[in-house]
Chains A and B, each alone.
Chain A
Amino acid sequence: MSTPTFTAATLPSNDNVNPYAFSVDLNGRWFAQKGKMIAYYGRIRFEALSAGPLDALVAASFHSPLYAQDWIVAEGQGKLLLADRGFDVNSFDLDEGNLTIRAGNLLAFEPGLELKQSIIPGFLTLIGTGRFVAASNGPVHFVEPPIRVDPQALLGWADCPSPCHHYDHSYMRGVLGAARMVFGVGGTSGEEHQFDFTGEGTVLMQSSEAVMSDDVMLRDLEGQIGMVGTSGLQRLQQSISQRLSAERQ
């Protein structure tokens, strides 16, 4: 067995090179997450979203100031190879559809799609027609609601209503449960919180619980602070200092 060899002509066009790398046949512009390009043939430029000439494109397709610094636009002609930490990479087509996906797992998308922030922190929603590329740790599984999934194993969902949180009842019961509610400590199985999906649609799961360790969640929380009033801020400050002093012990 030898390593497959590719040239610009023999690289697949908008398809996987192997399960871990995707080749985009670029002719125009694609949005891509920063740092996921591994190689390219041809004339391709990478621009930050703040670049002047991209204003119209960004205004039309990218509606998430929170994630703008993580994204770039690849512009030009050629073959562009994308990969992410050796994760499985897959492409999906949307046809006048919508799909919500974990922000760290979305690698690239065509400008035919519009990107918006989901109500669920750390997730992004794509709306419209076009192709996008996403990474998952292990192959993707498609399941249908009703289903409860582990938050870390959830990749995204399409067509169905946004999930709600589900907590096991025993989590809140008894002395230990009360202690958990106040201090957030105590022995748990680690599986008392799930996302609950109902309705028609498809839920995408990855086959592990490894998620990109980044500060997306934190930035999301920070972004929501703007919606909190003065009294709310004081309460937040209180609970944060309470947690901090509990951590120090």
Chain B
Amino acid sequence: MAQFRLNGSKMLAVDLAGETIKALNGAMVAYDGQMSFKRQGMTGGEGLRGALKRRIAGEGMTLMEVSGQGTVFLASEATEVTLVRLNGDTLFVESESLLALDAGLRTGVHFVGLRGMGTGQGLATTKVEGSGTAAIVSDGPAIALEVSPSEPLCVDPHAYVGHLGQLQQDVVTDVNWRTVLGQGSGESVQFRYQGHGLVYVQPAERGGILEI
């Protein structure tokens, strides 16, 4: 297994002994040993159908395959790196938040429908399945918030990074005539999570298409 570890909070180090990992295209900042970097083909390892779905969803993602002997250092625009270990779970994350993953993990597109509108996220999100480690990046250190059936969680769509586990996601809206007049609360749209799992949030807010 490739060893994922943090080298400081903003850089990921992966020790490889002949294995292959997938990483965000262009995220390599340094390596020692023998490494080869190969851009993934047109389909990004998701098959023709998967690539088509990704194209339709506009959930663009370019990954490269890194393999070799030694240590490779990965980073993306000084964003904070969080390691997520998957044991047959499914991680939902925005494609731009994905830094690297074990070769054993499969990626795919998950359609989320209209809830992505207005949050700058588009209609789809990326799904990571399997067993292994994934590294995600966030603007400021990510905070993991646990959700249990007795404790649902609401999240600002702009601060959402990803979620993991058996979670049901719905959109809570509190839009009233004041929102229309521009006198809204500024927190009129939230994601609510119910079930069992973890939600990752970041201490900064992305700009959305719609300000509501």
Contacts and interface: CB of A to CB of B under 8 A. Distances in A.
B199 interface: yes
A40 B154 contact: yes
A34 B185 contact: yes
A89 to B, nearest CB: 8
Interface string B163-186: 000000000001000100011111
B151 interface: yes
Best-buried of B143, B156, B174, B198 by chain A (most CB within 10 Å)? B143
Given A20-B141, A85-B205, A38 B183 contact: no
Contacts of A8: 151
Contact of B185 (A72, A83, A86): A72
Interface in A1-52: 1-8, 11, 17-18, 20-21, 34-35, 37-41, 44-48, 50-51
A237 interface: no
A207 interface: no
A51 B186 CA distance: 13
A2 B83 contact: yes
B144 A3 contact: yes
B201 A38 contact: yes
Interface residues on B, range: 35 or more
B159 A5 contact: no
A198 interface: no
Interface in A72-103: 72, 81, 83-86, 89
Contact of B146 (A6, A46, A85): A6
Contacts of A241: none
B204 A86 contact: yes
Contacts of A86: 139-140, 202-204
Interface of A: 1-8, 11, 17-18, 20-21, 34-35, 37-41, 44-48, 50-51, 69, 72, 81, 83-86, 89
Q: Which 5 A-B pairs have the closest CB atoms?
A: A34-B186, A83-B203, A86-B140, A38-B159, A46-B185
8 contacts: A11-B145, A34-B186, A38-B202, A39-B145, A39-B201, A41-B152, A46-B186, A86-B204
Interface of B: 6, 82-83, 139-146, 148, 151-156, 158-159, 174, 178, 182-188, 198-205
